Structure 1
């Protein structure tokens, strides 16, 4: 957000995020545009997650890369569940 923009009310009421988890939330947000879109919303590709972890976060250790993918995938899985639930309701608006 720009400095002169106001936060939407939903963000003002959002819970605080553990500082150690912010990088995964930021990565999920940044990578959401990399997901394939067709009949439905697809998973964020692992190749995009690994490239992000290496290029943006500087991760090179295999254990750190696995952890990064696991955390971002967990957020993405919850997002996809919420999307599926929202889209299965009658009169759901595309999103």
Structure 2
């Protein structure tokens, strides 16, 4: 790659809609709470609830947070399967 040329992955990265960075950052923060064993488990519900409480989310926001966390987990699994890391 020539000096100063942006990598293809950065050029093609998806843009987050305003406000979605909160959920993405929550997902990154909560990754450390995953149980480890023979395989990496899902982020525990209790960790998502605690995160929501710390950030003063109401019940609707908690459900949205959980929904988006689960969708990001699914996308990660699908990505790993495509790469052969599953």
TM bucket, shorter chain: 0.7 to 0.9
Asked whether the equivalents of residues 41 and 80 of structure 1 are also in contact (C-alpha less than 8 Å), the reply is no
Structure 1 gap segments, 5+ residues each: 1-8, 89-95
Structure 2 gap segments, 5+ residues each: 1-6
* TM-score, scaled relative to structure 2: 0.76
Matches within 5 A, 1:37-48: 37-48=36-47
* TM-score, scaled relative to structure 1: 0.69
CA RMSD, 1 decimal: 2.1
| SS in structure 2 at match of 1:87 | coil
Kindly report structure 1 stretches of 4+ aligned residues shifted beyond 4 Å. Answer: none
**Structure of greater relative contact order (alpha carbons < 8 Å, 6+ residues apart):** 1
Q: What count of residue pairs does the alignment treat as equivalent? A: 79
The reply to whether residue 33 of structure 1 matches residue 32 of structure 2 is yes
